[in-house]
Amino acid sequence: ELKVEQNPLFLSMQEGKNYTIYCNYSTTSDRLYWYRQDPGKSLESLFVLLSNGAVKQEGRLMASLDTKARLSTLHITAAVHDLSATYFCYTGTASKLTFGTGTRLQVTL
Amino acid sequence: DGGITQSPKYLFRKEGQNVTLSCEQNLNHDAMYWYRQDPGQGLRLIYYSQIVNDFQKGDIAEGYSVSREKKESFPLTVTSAQKNPTAFYLCASAEGVGQPQHFGDGTRLSIL
* DSSP class per residue in B16-32: T--EEEEEEE-S--SEE
Q: Which chain B residues contact residue A92 at CB under 8 A?
A: 98
Question: Dihedrals φ, ψ of A82, to 5°?
Answer: -60, -15
Percent of chain B with pLDDT over 70: 98
**Inter-residue contact B67 to B18 (CB < 8 Å):** no
Interface touch B42/A33, C-beta < 8 Å: no
- Does residue B1 sit in helix, strand or coil? coil
- Between A84 and B98, residue with greater pLDDT: A84
**Inter-residue contact A3 to A101 (CB < 8 Å):** no
> Best interface-test mutation with B: which of A43, A46, A48, A101 has the largest number of B CBs within 10 A?
A43
- List the single residue in A94, A95, A99 with the smallest CB-CB distance to B43: A99
Taking 90 as the threshold, does the pLDDT of residue A68 lie above it?
Answer: yes
Taking 70 as the threshold, does the pLDDT of residue B1 lie above it?
Answer: no
Interface touch B103/A88, C-beta < 8 Å: no
Determine the average pLDDT of the residues in B98-112. 92
Relative to beta strand A10-14, strand A103-108 is parallel
Chain B residues with CB under 8 Å of a chain A CB are 40-44, 88, 90, 92, 96-98, 100-106
Percent of chain B with pLDDT over 90: 81
Residues 6+ apart with CB under 8 A from A18: A75, A76, A77, A78, A79
Burial class (CB in 10 A: 0-12, 13-18, 19+), B29: buried
